[in-house]
Amino acid sequence: MATITAGIGVRGPVVVGHRTFSVTKRGLPKLKLSSELSFVASQLSGIKISSTHLSSPAPLSVPFKPSLQPVARRVCPFTGKKSNKANKVSHSNHKTKKLQFVNLQYKRIWWEAGKRYVKLRLSTKAIKTIEKNGLDAVAKKAGIDLSKK
């Protein structure tokens, strides 16, 4: 069996069996001759990965939870408004791509049916629509369940 003592981004010597190779910037051994390449290939072919400690893989009962919270998307949940792709045109008529984002605001709105405030991230267009038609009507039309939030 061969042992390799190197990792990605590690500089210095790499030991394969009883031979030592120098390592490049990318963490790969620098091989000069085809005989060295065949020696490394023969040594690496003897490496075995065993999973004797896991006789039968058990299913995960705990759901996966990422360690970082997901970033809120720049999309209004009520109106579906999202960013628009546009060109930024300079004086010399040079066009570069840019995004025009939606005017999203965090708003605390009184929900009459739930008898509590609901904090939502809405576009200003959605805020005007809620003021005109009411929160329940707009949420029902958008298919949003406010009891979850």
14-55 pLDDT, tens digit each: 666 666 666 565 655 555 545 555 655 566 565 555 555 555
Measured in degrees and rounded to the nearest 5, phi and psi for residue 112 equal -65, -40
d(CA 36, CA 49): 24
pLDDT digits (tens, 9 = 90+) for 90-123: 999 999 999 999 999 999 999 999 999 999 999 9
More confident residue, 6 or 39: 39
3-state helix, strand, coil in the chain (%, to 5): 20, 25, 50
Across residues 120-137, what is the average pLDDT? 95
pLDDT band, very low/low/confident/very high, at 86 (cuts 50, 70, 90): very high
Tokens of 92: 């010399």
What is the DSSP annotation of 89-116? E-TT--EEEEEE---EEEEEEEETTTTE
pTM exceeding 0.85: no
Looking at residue 117, its pLDDT comes to 94
